[in-house]
Structure 1
């Protein structure tokens, strides 16, 4: 089934009027999903600063630096898809509730059971209820922070889209410039920024507007690919070198420039998004199926990764060999990605679970 027809049949609110969901959006979502999984496999090695060889740590630092674009690109995709659409407020909220909130609740319960399964007998029903309520307020597992963030962003979409649709390019430039300045607050440059209240221009709303702007106003021109690639490389280099320098200088890990809301990560996210717009316009059934289950893959992958770690625990990992470590990280991520996809594909085959798992 062609991509547009699939989305039109299953998510008609994604296909407003005659504007179809572009293939590059679907492909970018797949890339961002895999990038996040590789990031989570790499993170434990980054945290072993001074505990593994410096060369191996630098490899982990490089991989982590290269993959920071994942979450920003997710939000940019939301901006590209949602802000140029017209739909009643109640329909938008109902669709978001079904698409995001229900799977979030389901997987929150899954991770709660996963954490406390062996300790239920230690708590009363009242205590477990209180623990669950507390966990749901902040997240039952670390990767679910993204759901809290994106739900907050979505609450602004009906308001932001009205402004975006009635704004000139110059007004969008003005917003994006102010937002770009706020990114420096999360770096060592913060001390040079005046204490003007910029809260309303900061955080992930900027990526939402940026995604809309790049999708609508920046043409896909192959002649610009080198420039977009250099944006990505510059962002990676700034992230890698800054993290390396600050960590080595202080003799302890410093991940200030891993922040998704930093100018260096923004540069690589812009580069990847525009390269995707130029290069990733073709698709096929396999890629469409991966995209169809990408949200479920994200929600499930941490649980799958836990058991992949257990299955591979007997492997002798030579962390001093950068080549072996690189192959190990990529291999583990690929297995986790594919197993997560198969798990979601199987679970979603059961109609009562389909709307809950993905």
Structure 2
């Protein structure tokens, strides 16, 4: 997540970014659980309970982006040069490293199976030609060795769109923004309507994929939601805000967890159905995201040391995003031998991966200008 230079730091945004990166790493730690452990009868229950908590991670990052970058008053070309270049450089460096890694294991004399210690679900190949093929595909999509990079493609798209969206946001009033958010909220139901009602929804068909709510759908709603909640905060007591957040999170989490659990309990489900209730742009995930945001926005920050830690950790979140997947597999190998439930082992893995990635990013950033560029 890129930050706009400001003389006044919004501390609660640092808290949101730390929570979001924790949730994101948690999601990838659950992904690394072995097929044998996934076959255990109770995996579907605890996997659903734990993994459902992670879904607000990406929307929270996008909301922070909206707060920090809306409205932008830079010329479009200058904005692209300054902001997108800060994303592209670390993205390319780390994408190349991830895709070269299988080839490196072969150079070092490791067995092809060693690749799956780091990337559990990737097809192991140690040939340079396959690595080069994946690298050549970087302009078009991520590989199985750089799965987390999907987010950067999306984020670059948001940055390309942001100066255009920003012009409207700057001129819009509270009512206009709420109308946009209202239409966006309707669009959040599209994944469910498309699956349970009709695949060709509101004008979508074999020759048209851009339906009625297409231009209001997606992550742009989270961009505006973050901006809107900061500029037009809820006008009632903190206790009522917390109560609202509790209810919103309970409903959103309940739908996410139960929906995912029931869907994945059916053998042979398609990947699309498995991910349906985990969709980031869905009403249940939006409710969870809104709840976490409201709690953080109204939190009190009076401890200088805690504030300093949050700021330092927040600055490292993009770098953690880039590098953490190299630590997920080895750390899980370390904790899997513990005499503890898999859920506890995954939580311990989550903490260790996050802390190790944080320390690694700090070390690299401390090397100077290029260290900071590589880590974003």
Q: TM-score range by the shorter chain?
A: 0.7 to 0.9
Contact 2:319 2:375 in 1 (8 A): yes
Tell me what 1:222 maps to: 238
Query: What stretches of structure 2 of length at least 5 have no aligned partner?
Result: 108-125, 204-210
Residue number in structure 1 paired with 2:113: none
Partner of 1:3: none
- Please name the residue that 2:175 is paired with: 170
Deviates more, 1:22-31 or 1:168-177: 168-177
Question: CA deviation digits over 1:131-159, x for unaligned, max 9?
Answer: 41114421241011000001001111111
Q: How does 1:1-358 map to 2 (within 5 A)?
A: 13-15=4-6, 20-45=8-33, 51-54=39-42, 56-119=43-106, 122-123=127-128, 129-140=132-143, 141-188=146-193, 191=197, 194-195=202-203, 196-219=211-234, 221-223=237-239, 224-248=241-265, 250-252=266-268, 254-279=274-299, 281-282=301-302, 283-312=306-335, 315=337, 324-351=341-368, 352-358=370-376
Q: How many residues get paired?
A: 335
Q: Is the 8 A contact 1:23 1:280 kept in 2?
A: no
The alpha-carbon deviation at position 198 of structure 1 amounts to 2.0
Query: TM-score, normalized by length of structure 2?
Result: 0.81
Give the aligned CA root-mean-square deviation in angstroms: 2.6
Cα 1:165–1:158 shift into 2, 3 Å: same
More displaced, 81-90 or 25-34? 81-90
Q: Name the CA distance, whole Å, in 2 between partners of 1:229 and 1:45.
A: 30
* TM-aligned CA deviation for residue 241 of structure 1: 1.1
Offset at 1:265? 0.5
SS of alignment partner, residue 25 of structure 2:
helix
Q: Are the counterparts in 2 of residues 106 and 357 from structure 1 also a CA contact under 8 Å?
A: no
CA distance in 2, matches of 1:94, 1:317: 52
Q: Structure 1 length as normaliser, TM-score?
A: 0.85
Q: Would the aligned equivalents of 1:65 and 1:239 in 2 still touch at CA under 8 Å?
A: yes
How far residue 122 of structure 1 moved from its aligned partner, in angstroms, is 4.0
8 Å CA contact 1:103, 1:357 repeated in 2: yes
Secondary structure class of the residue paired with 2:165: helix
Task: Identify if the C-alpha distance between structure 1 residues 355 and 171 changes in structure 2 by more than 3 Å, giving closer, same or farther.
Answer: same
Alpha-carbon distance between aligned partners in 2 of 1:103 and 1:62, rounded to the nearest angstrom: 33
Compare 161-170 and 189-198 and name the one that shifted more.
189-198
Shift of 1:225: 0.8
C-alpha distance after superposition, 1:187-231 (max 9, x if no partner): 146527533532211111111111111121124741211111211
1:129/1:331 CA distance change after superposition, 3 Å? closer
